[in-house]
Structure 1
Amino acid sequence: MNKQEAIEKIYTASWDSPVYEGLVVKVETVNEIIFQIDEPQRVVVPKHIADKIKYCKDAEGYGLFHTMDYCYQYEDSAEWLEDNQETFAQAWLFGFEIEQEKLYTVEIPDPNRPDIVTFLYKENGKVFIGTDIFLDEAPNYKWKNEPGSQLTEAEIKEDFEWAWQFAKEVE
């Protein structure tokens, strides 16, 4: 229901009161109608777009036009904006949610050591190479479920671009 439909419903639910001047409507009725008004859904945007919108609105005080112009200065933003101008405008006007980045685990194969797994993990904001030893001969892949072992593409490629070939998307 839009605002005009809500106004019509409230008017229909009202009545003349001999005590009050004008029309009267129960508060409960008005609340019911207000809760039926459609609110614009927040759109989902990539993190780099969200960061630029926040920066332009909060730090610079830019309007929509200048923010779009600002985004066109960056290749990744310009490419996204080319196909998503309406989404960008909705994000600007009604707010947004940040798109969840894909996460990956990286196991570096070592055919000579089947009892050891070598993988990338993050600790204190930095990515490292780690190992885990299988004491009982059966491979143990618990490390894949650890949040520190689930990395974004950018985190992997920052220092270990060569390891990207071994990345597997987390399901």
Structure 2
Amino acid sequence: MNGLIEIGDKVVLYGFFDGFAHKTDGTTNGLVTLKTGERVEIPLEDIMKKDQIITKKDIISRMKQLFPLSRNEWINEILHEFGDEFGLWKYNAGYEQGKLEGEWVGQQLKDADKIRQELNKPIVPQFVADWIEYCKGEGLTLLGSLDPIDKFGNSLANSFKNDVKVCISWASRNSDVFARAWLDGYEVEKEKRYLVKVKGHIHENILVYGYGVKRYFFSSSLEGNKRAKHTRKELEDAGFGWVFDCPGIEIEEVEE
């Protein structure tokens, strides 16, 4: 069974006509032997010769044998007779199929857009990423992040750890990148680190940050609780931005 047949549907049984069965009420049924060997009684009016049953294949085969003009007349007449019903069925079927395909295509486009956004996230410096997260955490909008002042003229970024003016300046100069980073997410730029040395000096010639004393100073040794590789921002925040323009200082870009 194909799953479409239901109880009460009319069916066709194929077999061999095997005689008559005369009933006591005066009626006569036909005896039909099925392929399984069973013999069943069927009213004579319900029995047809096999060559009397017209199938879809029979109709198509016969129409193919017609001359093109006659075949077109048949097709036009059939469509005239059943066109409205057939058209409505085709429309409904097409509409439902279109909805399914439209939903599938729509989901594919959404997935593709999501993948595109993930693969093409803008790259921003760490201090910009910190600023975006701070503003969102404070409930500021994208526009508000460029001018974090309340109606009384008070700053809404007093607790931000970095220089707010530097962040806003970067966001203003790179407005498209900043907006995309705010809306779609971002990747943090891998900051370069530098080794800062005093030219011509052997002792106390390397700029380090002492974790214990929590300050920068020049040292001849990298041993101990010190950091010798600094980002430009770390140096600028500590007041050592001048080293990048000083002729007596050697700046070497180093790996992490």
TM-score bracket, shorter-length normalisation: 0.5 to 0.7
Q: What is the rounded CA distance, in whole Å, between the counterparts of 1:65 and 1:156 in structure 2?
A: 30
Q: What is the rounded CA distance, in whole Å, between the counterparts of 2:233 and 2:166 in structure 1?
A: 14
2:231 matched to which residue of 1?
152
Q: Are 1:45 and 2:124 counterparts?
A: yes
Q: Which SS does the other structure have where 1:121 is aligned?
A: strand
Q: Are 1:56 and 2:135 counterparts?
A: yes
| Structure 1 residue 76, shift from structure 2 partner | 2.4
Q: Which SS does the other structure have where 1:49 is aligned?
A: helix
Query: Which moves more between the two structures, 45-54 or 156-165?
Result: 156-165
Q: What is the rounded CA distance, in whole Å, between the counterparts of 1:106 and 1:70 in structure 2?
A: 36
TM-score by length of 2: 0.40
| Structure 1 residue 67, shift from structure 2 partner | 1.9
Higher RCO structure (Cα 8 Å, ≥6 apart) = 1
Say whether the 8 Å CA contact 1:102–1:169 is kept in structure 2: no
Q: Are 1:65 and 2:143 counterparts?
A: yes
Counterpart among 187, 191, 194 of residue 97 in structure 1:
187
| Structure 1 residue 55, shift from structure 2 partner | 1.0
Say whether the 8 Å CA contact 2:196–2:250 is kept in structure 1: yes
Q: For the pair shown, which has the larger CA radius of gyration, 1 or 2? A: 2
2:176 matched to which residue of 1?
86
Taking a change above 3 Å as real, the CA distance of residues 49 and 38 of structure 1, as seen in their structure-2 partners, is same
Taking a change above 3 Å as real, the CA distance of residues 119 and 97 of structure 1, as seen in their structure-2 partners, is same
TM-score by length of 1: 0.56
Post-superposition CA distance 1:110-131 (Å, at most 9, x none): 45x5xx5620123425433211
Post-superposition CA distance 1:29-59 (Å, at most 9, x none): 99xx58961321221112332222111101x
Post-superposition CA distance 1:8-36 (Å, at most 9, x none): xxxxxxxx9xxxxx77x9xxx99xx5896
Matched residue type, 2:205: T
The within-5 A match list for 1:9-20 is none
Taking a change above 3 Å as real, the CA distance of residues 169 and 96 of structure 1, as seen in their structure-2 partners, is farther
| Structure 1 residue 152, shift from structure 2 partner | 1.8
Taking a change above 3 Å as real, the CA distance of residues 57 and 78 of structure 1, as seen in their structure-2 partners, is closer
Say whether the 8 Å CA contact 2:232–2:241 is kept in structure 1: no
Q: What is the rounded CA distance, in whole Å, between the counterparts of 2:178 and 2:136 in structure 1?
A: 13
Q: What is the rounded CA distance, in whole Å, between the counterparts of 1:162 and 1:86 in structure 2?
A: 30
For structure 2, which runs of at least 5 residues remain unmatched after alignment?
A: 1-92, 150-154, 156-163
Q: What is the rounded CA distance, in whole Å, between the counterparts of 1:42 and 1:104 in structure 2?
A: 27
Q: What is the rounded CA distance, in whole Å, between the counterparts of 1:90 and 1:109 in structure 2?
A: 43
Q: Which SS does the other structure have where 2:113 is aligned?
A: coil
Matched residue type, 1:50: A
1:129 matched to which residue of 2?
218
Q: What is the rounded CA distance, in whole Å, between the counterparts of 2:172 and 2:199 in structure 1?
A: 40
2:71 matched to which residue of 1?
none
Q: What is the rounded CA distance, in whole Å, between the counterparts of 2:240 and 2:172 in structure 1?
A: 31
Say whether the 8 Å CA contact 1:105–1:150 is kept in structure 2: yes
Say whether the 8 Å CA contact 1:118–1:131 is kept in structure 2: yes
